[in-house]
Amino acid sequence: MRKALFAVAISFGLTWSCHPKEMVCYGSNNYKNITDYDVVPDVYTANGIGIDNSNNPEWQLNPVEIDFMVDSLEECLNANFKANPIIPEDIASSANCYRKDFSEGITIVRNCISVKVPDDLYRSSCSGKLLFRCDVDPQLCLDKGLEPNPACPCSCRAMIQDNNCIITEPTFEVFKGELARMVTSCNNPWRVGQIAPCLSRD
């Protein structure tokens, strides 16, 4: 169920849906929320990433698979930025990058991240993709050559919520893209040469 509030009480006391309030995570990105799912991790990966599998018994995320994708993204980004640590100013501008110099490398803070498959996931009758509804600007679909309509509105396959949660469909087609947005502070990582090759599903 989607709700407006994200603070919830669990057996260990009061906590926040995406990460403990006192932790310094990825809030400086200040990305706009276009989803409002409750995210309460009930499973953790070996590396400390929270997974909310509680409300979607059909789609249970595999902690090992999530750790693998996060590890592979971090490894790829560091290899590419080691070879070329600075994003050119024109690319940084077009990709809306807050950070431009990655000389110190990238460490993905695993215990800042939570992942959830939404309980209202559906398969599009137009594209055949697994999607969830979000308040995304329809222009983004038009830019991809997709024509939104009442039967097939502009929807999401993955999205950052509350700066530290990733809401995703379970095949993870664009999961790495959202994770890269989070950890690089580049709002359009697909435009950055050092980042784009790291965003494939495998």
Both tokens of 187, joined, read 């709002």
pLDDT band at 94 (very low <50, low <70, confident <90, very high): very high
Both tokens of 101, joined, read 């110099």
Query: How many other CB atoms are found less than 10 A from the CB of residue 53?
Result: 17
Higher pLDDT, 6 or 37: 37
How many angstroms separate the CA atoms of 137 and 1, rounded?
A: 23
Which pTM value belongs to this model?
Answer: 0.84
pLDDT at 10: 27
Interaxial angle between packed helices 63-83 and 175-184, expressed in degrees from 0 to 180 and rounded to the nearest 10: 50
Kindly state the average pLDDT of the residues 49-74: 93
pLDDT at 82: 97
